[in-house]
Structure 1
């Protein structure tokens, strides 16, 4: 959720003084948070994109996904959606076009926009910050081997949802974001990554991993062996089914 910091004006009414955008939020979530913080009708911020004149890379084709940098933004006097979106994109450009990121992207045969796209997948997929470098390595290893990424987070983005459960039917949807069916990276970032995810995307942890699954909180398993990965996935599914049964039993009491 957005976490606006509140202050009280002269009339005694509370109004937000700044807006916190968390790491990993999608553009749609950011738009909604800005609308709420500025007490605007839903959809106002998204409509303001056309006149915001954001400094986005050419590859973005006007879509700010990935460049609404997660941080705390002061609202200041007379805040507008255009001002806030501009501040977010300007912050992203300062972070992403600096020497470390630009050089890191080039070192991995990427342009900066591709690096941001990888970082957005890392942000969405990694269960913990210490796993981010390994998740990035899985992405690179799959790209280098000509394997589809098969990342559930890209399916979730295509369907506008967030869930751990991806069905076989889901993996067959017709979308450029379906990384089960389409090769390479999705056409845009799928979220707005923070510093740690960006660092992981340009400095992936060395390893031969091709698969990973978070079996339970704090237990993400990486492997290059498909048979071992299937065992890990089966364990994840068993734990999920057990949790569902326990939840159902609790609800029935």
Structure 2
């Protein structure tokens, strides 16, 4: 929490596995090859995109995997002709599906197309489409909620509860107040949101803006999508991770204040242990 005098209503349940600006959006399987001078050349055979990575991180990972100049994949968006929903307005955030993609004969356009096509197959089928309709939203809105869930929840069981907090707040006309949306706006990953952060002028500032952010804030996996269309029943409006493995959900603001105070006490006592434990997810 940013200051002692302000109680934030929610807090990200985990630390992202990235340092700001670092490229860790994918992992590759190296394949030994022989170069023309007889030396061994190790090149990646595939690229694995983990759940929760942002589009910008994925572009960087593709550039690195294909040994391309930085920024090449981002510039390839226009040529890729991706089959995105109208609401996306050409922005593939949320639709670069987390999976492992082969790199043989790959180009940025081919990889981006494969990711979006995979997302469309997973998202536009009966379970997700019907689940979105059941909750009075379209698939793009469900993906947006799933991206918040993916970014906020520490564990899969917590995903359904985080989704329920989102729904409960939307239904009550409350701002979402999710730190993950601020982190997206500021292109960072941190648990230390300040009062100043909550006042930034951005459509992704869910402390000041009502409703969902204009786009997804990450690329969610199947577990987060399931949570978004079938949230766990409950009346929760607040949650905070007190320590790794202990995220507390409540509908009572005073109880939440006590939980936040306990979380702050734990982080002051063992900040390095807390961050390390969460970063190992």
Q: State the TM-score, normalized to the length of structure 1.
A: 0.95
Match of 1:129 among 156, 159, 164: 156
Give the CA deviation at 1:118. 0.1
Give the CA deviation at 1:163. 0.5
Q: Note the residue ranges of structure 2 that are not aligned, 5 or more in a row.
A: 1-23, 275-281
Matched, 1:117 2:144: yes
Structural RMSD (CA) = 1.3
Give the CA deviation at 1:243. 2.5
- In structure 2, distance between residues paired with 1:245 and 1:143: 35
Secondary structure in 1 matching 2:131: helix
Structure 2 matches for 1:46-85, cutoff 5 A?
A: 46-77=74-105, 79-85=106-112
Matched, 1:8 2:13: no
After superposition, what is the alpha-carbon deviation per residue over 1:144-167, rounded to whole angstroms, capped at 9, x for unaligned? 000000000000000000011111
Give the CA deviation at 1:9. 2.0
Give the CA deviation at 1:245. 9.4
- In structure 1, distance between residues paired with 2:141 and 2:123: 11
Give the CA deviation at 1:222. 0.3
- In structure 1, distance between residues paired with 2:45 and 2:271: 42
Match of 2:204 among 165, 170, 177: 177
Secondary structure in 2 matching 1:13: strand
When residues 246 and 103 of structure 1 are mapped into structure 2, their CA distance, relative to the original with a 3 A threshold, is: closer
Matched, 1:106 2:133: yes
- In structure 1, distance between residues paired with 2:239 and 2:251: 9
Structure 2 matches for 1:163-174, cutoff 5 A?
A: 163-174=190-201
Higher mean Cα deviation, 5-14 or 102-111?
5-14
What residue is the counterpart of 1:200 in the other structure? 227
When residues 242 and 205 of structure 1 are mapped into structure 2, their CA distance, relative to the original with a 3 A threshold, is: same
Secondary structure in 1 matching 2:192: coil
- In structure 1, distance between residues paired with 2:272 and 2:139: 45
Matched, 1:27 2:55: yes
Structure 2 matches for 1:103-252, cutoff 5 A?
A: 103-244=130-271
When residues 90 and 185 of structure 1 are mapped into structure 2, their CA distance, relative to the original with a 3 A threshold, is: same
Give the CA deviation at 1:238. 1.3
Secondary structure in 2 matching 1:66: coil
- In structure 1, distance between residues paired with 2:51 and 2:92: 15
Q: State the TM-score, normalized to the length of structure 2.
A: 0.86
- In structure 2, distance between residues paired with 1:240 and 1:216: 8
Higher mean Cα deviation, 7-16 or 141-150?
7-16
What residue is the counterpart of 1:251 in the other structure? none
When residues 245 and 6 of structure 1 are mapped into structure 2, their CA distance, relative to the original with a 3 A threshold, is: closer
State the number of aligned residues.
246
What residue is the counterpart of 1:91 in the other structure? 118
- In structure 1, distance between residues paired with 2:69 and 2:203: 31
What residue is the counterpart of 2:7 in the other structure? none
Q: Note the residue ranges of structure 1 that are not aligned, 5 or more in a row.
A: 248-253
* Structure with the higher fraction of residues in helix conformation: 1
